[in-house]
Structure 1
Amino acid sequence: MIRSMKFEIEKYQFGDDGVIPNSELPVLVYRQVCTAEDKSDWFEATFIANRWTNNWRDTILSYHHFHSTTHEVLGVGQGAVRLQIGGSSGVTLTVVAGDMIVLPAGVGHCSLPGQGDYEIVGGYPDGASWDLLTGTEAERRAALPRIKGVPIPVTDPIEGIEGVLIKYWT
């Protein structure tokens, strides 16, 4: 397996905006963590090896949404995509093949219009089941206690038990 020996970490923190709950935990963006030729295969195999399973390959939904039952990892296997993270008042990020994002439970995310071809490899700690919420008032009331109850993962999706995620989330 090939991964970059040096990669940059960006941290972003988002508070509750009244629609998207977001999280007290930071969103972590790992820049150019993967240098393998087939990045999608590498991300999937590495996530599985580090207990981030229930994997999928697809694009990211084009409307603001969040998950209240689990954290999520997104590895960019091909292409590039502009994302809005943290809800409509959050930040816009461009991620490219080889980049990875870890989203805490509750953090809003969506792709922005005008994207070309790209592929995301997603996964969840210990294969957790995910829900799909958009922040309606009824959803939020039920989601807030679930988000608070989502445990910190025991492994980083790339580096296992001694990874960056463990440093920033514990």
Structure 2
Amino acid sequence: MSLARDQIKPQLHRFDDDGLIPNNPMPLLLYKRAVEIAGGDPEQTIEDLFEVNGWGDSWRNGIYDYHHYHATVHEALGVARGRALVLFGGEQGEAIELRPGDVAVLPAGTGHKCVFASHDFRVIGAYPPGATMQVTRPTPDNYRKALQSIPKVRLPDTDPVFGKDGPLLRLWQK
């Protein structure tokens, strides 16, 4: 169950294009402690939240330990268990600690890699309807292709945490 909308305001993080990882002019949204996951099945709680808000194709795992991004789709990452230090935005980006209940929403092209994860770290990933997720590594050729595909990625119709009235809809604009 997500917490009250007026209690959770996303932190905004913007990252510059570094020549290999394009990032995105739209900010990464970080909802700290946005999902109440005490007891029960936290993975299912996050999957259900994403699903009810129109974000699907979910998976359960960790975050790759190498720089990558998704040039064809936006991504939501909800932390169910453990903690991790994730470097967002490429080598010159920002390392952010993620803990249970946190949700990071990455606009297409946002670089990320796991720097550290506790042994019990578990994250749920999900995507808005549309293109299929592809893992893209930062190479010159991939970068050139991503500069063409990222501007074509549709804006989501909903926020993965708060649905049709969520802050993502006013914070992400082309």
- Fold match by TM threshold 0.5: yes
Conserved 8 A contact 1:85-1:93: yes
Corresponding residue SS for 2:25: strand
Runs of 4+ in 1 over 6 A off after TM superposition: none
Conserved 8 A contact 1:58-1:119: yes
* Counterpart Cα distance in 1 of 2:26 and 2:127: 16
Give the fraction of aligned pairs with identical amino acids, expressed as a percent. 36
* Counterpart Cα distance in 2 of 1:135 and 1:119: 25
Q: Which amino acid aligns with 2:52?
A: A
Conserved 8 A contact 1:16-1:22: yes
* Counterpart Cα distance in 2 of 1:114 and 1:72: 19
Give the superposition deviation at 1:116: 2.8
Q: Is the aligned partner of 1:47 residue 2:46?
A: no
User: Which residue is equivalent to 2:2?
Assistant: 3
Flag structure 1 segments of 5+ consecutive residues without an equivalent. none
Residue of 107, 118, 122 corresponding to 1:119? 122
* Counterpart Cα distance in 1 of 2:138 and 2:167: 29
Q: Deviations over 1:79-116 (max 9, x none)?
A: 11100000010000001000000000000001003533
* Counterpart Cα distance in 2 of 1:89 and 1:39: 32
Flag structure 2 segments of 5+ consecutive residues without an equivalent. none
User: Which residue is equivalent to 1:66?
Assistant: 69
Q: Is the aligned partner of 1:156 residue 2:153?
A: no
Q: Is the aligned partner of 1:21 residue 2:22?
A: yes
Q: Which amino acid aligns with 2:21?
A: I
Conserved 8 A contact 2:37-2:80: no
User: Which residue is equivalent to 2:98?
Assistant: 95
In structure 2, relative to structure 1, the CA distance for the partners of 1:49 and 1:112 (3 Å cut) is same
* Counterpart Cα distance in 2 of 1:92 and 1:116: 19
Under a length normalisation based on structure 2, what TM-score does the superposition of the two structures give? 0.93
* Equivalent residues, number: 169
Under a length normalisation based on structure 1, what TM-score does the superposition of the two structures give? 0.95
